[in-house]
């Protein structure tokens, strides 16, 4: 996840915009291969390493509640693409 985050940041037109964000929102989308029942809170806890990678690569200052707002996760079923987790970060201005 670390290298994916670094690569995504470096492909931006302004990569420096994505360094040490003081506050951001994070939308997690879980693309699953089947309709099997899953607990949303378990999916989110399983992605802790993904959030930690955003801090380690320097995109976020921290992943605590003061620096990161987690939106309600989205779940999609797509047997051709799943399993996959998509993280979308939106910087928050003025926080």
pLDDT of residue 93: 76
What is this structure's pTM?
0.85
Instruction: Give the pLDDT confidence score for residue 51 in this predicted structure.
Output: 93
Place of tokens 């989110």: 44
- Domains in the chain, number: 1
Peptide bond into 78 cis (omega under 30): no
- Give the model's pLDDT for residue 40: 87
Residue ranges of the chain with pLDDT lower than 70? 94-95
pLDDT of residue 95: 54
Please report the pLDDT score of residue 1 as a whole number: 81
Domain holding 64, by residue range, is 2-91
CB 6 within 8 A of CB 45: no
């Amino acid at each position: 996840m670390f290298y994916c985050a670094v690569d995504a940041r470096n492909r931006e037109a302004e990569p420096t915009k994505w360094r040490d964000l003081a506050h951001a929102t994070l939308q997690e989308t879980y693309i699953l291969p089947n309709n099997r029942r899953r607990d949303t809170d378990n999916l989110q806890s399983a992605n802790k390493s993904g959030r930690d990678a955003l801090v380690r690569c320097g995109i976020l200052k921290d992943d605590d509640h003061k620096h990161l707002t987690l939106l309600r996760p989205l779940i999609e079923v797509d047997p051709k693409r799943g399993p996959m987790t998509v993280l979308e970060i939106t910087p928050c201005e003025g926080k």
